[in-house]
Amino acid sequence: MRLADILMEDDIISDLKARDKKGVLEELAEVVSRHNPSVDRVVLVNVLVERENLGSTGIGDGVAIPHGKLKGVDQPIVSFGRSKTGLDFDSMDAQPVHLFFLLIAPENSSGMHLQVLAKIAKILKNSAFRKLLMEASGRGDLYRTITDMDEES
């Protein structure tokens, strides 16, 4: 599955306003719920917070991949946000997080969920890609950077 199939340009936030973990989750959930009527923002935030309570999805190198499964969703949904200043997300390396990929998957889809999660983690291991995301000028540029990288991987 390609990210271009599940990430819409409108689901990208080029400059997150949030200053803490819950704020980021709320901001990313807001764009997802706006474009997906079956997604209740409050329920989604609760699912994400519960997942974060199990262990941070901040994987290091300025990256976090908050994720969860949601009833009523029939295919994976991805949103992306960038914090130019970075923020504390309890990341594994204790460094600020700048790049956030939010993944929502259907409640009963562990295989598909893990496949998309692995794809996102793989492309984010590339330091040149992370640098391009930080330097992108706006939503359109971020979308093209992500989908181009996905085509190459």
Which of these is catalytic: 35, 67, 98, 113?
67
In which element (H, E) is residue 86 found? strand 77-87
Active site residue 35: no
| Angstrom distances, CA of residue 8 to CA of 21, 53, 140, 143 | 23, 28, 10, 8
In which element (H, E) is residue 55 found? none
Packing angle of the helix pair 139-152, 110-124 (nearest 10 deg): 100
Catalytic residue set:
67
